[in-house]
Structure formats: C-alpha cells, structure tokens
Structure 1
C-alpha cells in the first residue's frame, strides 16, 4: 500500500530548495574561500605566527558568540541573520593581503574579530534555514547542497591559487593577485544573501508554512537554551562538535611547514575537491 503525499505548486524563487541554494551560495563565497585561503597554511602567507593568532581569535569569538546568536536569530529572523553573517569575512582576508604587502597586522587582527562574529551569524542562520525551511524529505538534500557548494568554493579557490602561483616552486607567500581574486569572491556573499526569501514567503510542496517561534524576550530565549544543553542527546554530540574542527590547525600548518607555495595551493585544492566528492556521494 503506498502513501500518496499531496504536492502543492510552488514558485521556484520561493521554494525551500532555492533558499538552500542561497545559503549554499554564501557558503561558496565565504567559508569556502576562507577554507581555500587557510588550507594553504599561514593564510597563504609566510608568517604562520600571525595567522595562528588570527585564527585563534576567529574560532574563539565563534565559540563564545554562537551561544548568544541563536536568540538574536529568532528575533531578527534567519534572513537578516544570514545577511549580517556575510559582512565580516572580507576584512579578515584583506588583512592577510596587508600583512603580506605592507607587513602591518592591525587589519588582520581586527578582521579576525569581525570574521568570528560574522561566522556566528552565518552558521546559526544556515542551520536554522536548512533545517527549518525545507520539507522533511528535502532536508538531507538541502544540507548536501550547502556543503557541496562550500567545498566547490574552496576547490575553485584552490584552483585559482594553484594557477596564479604555479611558478612559485619555493617557500614564501602567494601572489598579491591571489588575495585580490579571493577577496572579490568573498564580496559576492552579501548580495547573494539578500536574495533569500523571508520565512513567511517560502512555499513548500507539502503546503505547510515555515514556522518561526519567537520567545517574548531574550531572557526567555536563554532560559530555553539552558534547558536545551541539559538534554542527554545534545550532550552526547558535544565530543563530535569538538572533534569536527580539531584537525584543521594541524593540517594547515603542516602544509605550510613542508611544502612550497605551489604545492601548498595544490594540496588545498585536492583536499576540498575530495570534500566536494563526499558531499555529492549518495547515501542509502
């Protein structure tokens, strides 16, 4: 006996899958290029000490700030949370350019704070949209689209870096042109985010509306958060959360320490191409 599921017509630019593609486009331009830049080690530069300090700031701000951004997301809506999340990555990438060209690190340290704050908003909004907008039978597809385009962005960033530094068979930093191209790609994240439909305008094939439940106050939001982190199943995935990003610092600096500029770009490209293949692989 088969169970028929009623299908409602939807406008393509208001569909849940279109929303997933918009989130994926921001992942392509921002976390994707962030990964391509850092995948070469030392942010593509020749000074790992400053890049290590910068990334410590990025992930420190991200770890603390994300706790509070969930409440903000419920208040200003996922769309505007995503838009805010696109604003702080460019100063971070520009900071590496300034360090390499002028040997000044103030912009990189400032950009690390803005990148960490933006990442809080971007990742919280992405999760809310990918889990809250799509129909039940499309949530896996939506998440796969996001990570596929994120890895595609990192792969293309790696290809660009490899192509622009193919003659740099020595230790040092990537070309200034490489930084400029990657920064330009990052700038596209903001206009992409503006195309995300509001939750109230999303049309789903099952006919249901996207529901965003707002608490009466921020205090109530944090009260609910305190209850959430006491749930055993949530606590059980904390070790996986810690493990997920643990290897990156080692991997990035290993690439810097043992390879030429050209091969650092090649290694970064191959790593993310493998991630792209994994994101597109069917799972039964």
Structure 2
C-alpha cells in the first residue's frame, strides 16, 4: 500500500520520475495536444467535411440548415453553465466520451435521410450533437490552451488547427472522389458510412486523454477535487465571465461562426456542382491548415513580448479581413446577377476562368476562419493557465459562437437575400474586432502575473487548505 501511495504522489505532483518511458510520453503535453487534435480530426473534422458540401451534401438544404440551427442552439444553451461545471467535476476524458458518440449519430441520420427523407431525425440528431459538441470543445479548448507552456500556446493552436482541419480536407477529398461522376446533387451513402466510421474511431480515442493532474507542465494550475463543488464552480464562472476584458471579447466570440452559413450554403452550395463543392470543401479546410500555421507563427513571434504579439495579430486580422471580405462583396454582386438569371449550382471546377475567382475566394474565406478562431483561442489562453478557468472561457466562447452561428443559419434557412447575409457577416466581424481592442491592449506579459486571473484560478481552492500539491488526486 505504501508503494502504491508513493507512486501516486509522484504522478500527481507532475514528476513521474519512476514511471516508464511510455508513461512519460503519455503525460507529455505535446503528445496530449496531438491526441486531442486527432480526436477532433475524426469527429468535428469529419462533420466539417459534411457541412462544407453545402446542405450537408443534400439537395434539400433547409433540413440541414435547421439541423445546424438546432445543433448550435443546443451548444449555446449547454457549453457555459452546464458542460463547463461538469468538466471541472469529471475532467476532459469523461467529457470526450460523453460527447463524442453524437458525431456518428448525426452522420447516421443523414445516411437515413438519403433513403427515408426523415428530416425530423436529422434535426433531432443535430440537437443531440449540439450537446455532444459542447463536451468535445470545452475539453479540447482547456487542453489546447493550458497543457503547454505560455511561450508555446500559439504553436499548440497552430498544430491543432492543422490536424483538425486535415479531417475536413481529407473527408472532403474522399467525398470528391466518391461523387466525381455523380449527377444526383446529393452525396452517396458510402460518403456517410465512411465518415460515420471515422467519427466512431475519434470518439473511442477519448479514453486515452490524460487528466491535467498528470500533465508535466510547470505553469499548469490544477484544482483539488474535493474543492470542485457546484457552488464554487458557479461562483468562478460568474466571476470569470464578468471580467471587463472577457466582456470585450464576447462579440468576437459571437462572430466566430456567423459566416459559415453564407459561405457554405450560398458561396459554395449555390454556385458549384456537387463534385466541385466537394473539392472546394477540401480546399477550404486545407486553407485553414495554412491559416492556422500563419497565425500561430504570428502569435509566437520570437523577440516580441506577448502584448506586442497580441496587437500585431489584431492588425493582421483586421487588414486581411477587410481585403478578403472586400473581394467577397465583388463576388456577391456577380453571384446575385447570375441568380437573377436562374443560374445556380452549375459551375464545375473545369469551367475556367469562371470558376477560378470564386474558388480562390472560398479558399481565402477558409484561411480567415483559421485566423479568427486561433486568435480567439489565444486570447482565452492568455487569460489563465488554469484548466478550470479556461474551461469556463472556452464554454463562453462556444456559447456565444454557437448563438451567433444559430442566428446566421436561421437567417439562411429563412431564405434571406444573399447580399443581406454577406453584409451582416462582414459588418459583425469588423465591428467585433473594434470592440475587442481593450481586451487586446490588456494582454499581459504572462498569465501568472495577472493577479485577477490568478485569484480566479484559485477560487476553487479553500484558503485554509495547506496540503501540498503532491496530495492532489487525478480526475
């Protein structure tokens, strides 16, 4: 018994000196980053491959749009005050297992729809997936922003974004191959079956995620299990969200997905034929991979302090946003004229030069999404090194991101003019960047030096507790 206790003490003190090389690899922060990245490659990455086809590969885009509204509404309702506190009680591994199964369920509902036209099942599966996605993304965000040292957070986000979006790229390329000769306007059953299997694999991989108490990162702040009460967690949630710097970031979070419905269902879904939509989906997610690398390098620029990097990244995001959305305005005027003539879903990638401009615009839209979301995650990671705090912040991010996305998808499902959707997306993105300026200017040299963040991270620890870290238990 004494030997077992001594071994446990070494593990939870993040000093597994007597453990095997395999265990040290398992508890290595970068191994865990790669693992959560591959899980997201299989689950939300394959989901992105579906949605990138426009209408999830269906001719009836309204059902897919309403399912997405249900998904985002469920995520918005659960990510912050439901999943965040649950994460602090059970840890990332359980959260991933609780949420991952909803992804293959959704792919299965689309497979069923191909044969039965059962739209209610698709929409219900979308709502269930919304709850499952909350568990996945809260766990992923906490791991990605706290499992590595502060100086490597930009790189961790970049690595995650590359692997995660490789899922969307590979899934879309597979769909492109499976539907190369299709004339039906909807993807084949084999597409949904292949994606379902990959999603199931990703779900099962969640069992290998390591709890924060065992990760060997000096700055990682862990919370004693006996102090993770619902009351203390709720108090921490309110205090974290009501910080003025976080409030300035909320519009940035809200705008993080508002452009998906327009880009996927209008720019891609209504402009190109099915095989070109599949190809565009692959190019969109591949562009996100490169976009993640670019913004990750900017956020970890050597020789610059963290406050300066935050400002450089903001300027980069604003400048590229104005350029890309400006090109989008020219496209939308052209597209509206074509739609008035009854031309839709007719452009093939071989129809150059007609296809070149719209395809490259869609590629740049994908890169900008990576810029935007990586910057949001980096700001979250800059607030704290505590998984408890970052889980709340990521929950807020997913809540407001999903609320904005649900609004945009509902507007799309109602058939609002494409130019109206475009103007809303451009205006909200640039406006929210301006509102976020105070939060960007308030980024500190280190999260540990931010007294408010440190206090919030320690809110779950009783002031009278004088037990050493070595006595903490794992999730």
Mark yes or no: TM-score above 0.5: yes
| Matching of residue 22 in structure 1 with residue 39 in structure 2 | no
- Once the two structures are superposed, the pairs formed by residues 121-270 of structure 1 within 5 Å of their partners are 121-168=135-182, 170=183, 172-204=185-217, 206=218, 211-212=222-223, 215-254=227-266, 255-270=268-283
- Give me the TM-score of the superposition, normalised by structure 1: 0.90
The alpha carbon displacement at 1:105 in A equals 2.4
Give 2:86's aligned residue.
Answer: 72
Bigger mean CA offset, 94-103 vs 9-18: 9-18
Unaligned runs of 5+ in 2: 1-14, 302-475
Q: Could you say what secondary structure the match of 1:257 adopts?
A: coil
Structure with greater Cα Rg: 2
Given the alignment, which residue of 117, 123, 133 partners 1:119? Answer: 133
The alpha carbon displacement at 1:250 in A equals 1.0
The alpha carbon displacement at 1:118 in A equals 0.7
Q: Could you say what secondary structure the match of 1:188 adopts?
A: helix
The alpha carbon displacement at 1:213 in A equals 5.1
Given the alignment, which residue of 13, 30, 44 partners 2:57? Answer: 44
Q: Which runs of 4+ in 1 moved over 6 A?
A: 7-10
The alpha carbon displacement at 1:220 in A equals 2.5
Bigger mean CA offset, 170-179 vs 131-140: 131-140
| Matching of residue 104 in structure 1 with residue 118 in structure 2 | yes
Matched residues in 1 for 2:179 and 2:263: separation?
Answer: 20
Q: Could you say what secondary structure the match of 1:246 adopts?
A: coil
Greater relative contact order (CA < 8 Å, ≥ 6 in sequence): 1
Matched residues in 2 for 1:210 and 1:24: separation?
Answer: 22
The alpha carbon displacement at 1:136 in A equals 2.5
User: What is the number of residues matched between the two proteins?
Assistant: 275
Q: Do the aligned residues in 2 keep the contact of 1:171 with 1:260 (CA within 8 Å)?
A: no
Q: Do the aligned residues in 2 keep the contact of 1:101 with 1:176 (CA within 8 Å)?
A: no
Q: Could you say what secondary structure the match of 2:186 adopts?
A: coil
Structure-2 change in CA distance of 1:221 and 1:267 (3 Å)? same
Matched residues in 2 for 1:18 and 1:173: separation?
Answer: 38
Q: Do the aligned residues in 2 keep the contact of 1:65 with 1:120 (CA within 8 Å)?
A: yes
Matched residues in 1 for 2:253 and 2:228: separation?
Answer: 30
Give 2:44's aligned residue.
Answer: 31
Q: Could you say what secondary structure the match of 2:245 adopts?
A: helix
- Give me the TM-score of the superposition, normalised by structure 2: 0.55
Give 1:3's aligned residue.
Answer: none
Q: What is the CA deviation profile of residues 173-215 of structure 1, one whole-angstrom value per residue up to 9, with x for unaligned ones?
A: 01111111111111111221111122232233x5x66513554
Q: Do the aligned residues in 1 keep the contact of 2:89 with 2:228 (CA within 8 Å)?
A: no
Bigger mean CA offset, 69-78 vs 192-201: 192-201
Matched residues in 2 for 1:256 and 1:191: separation?
Answer: 32
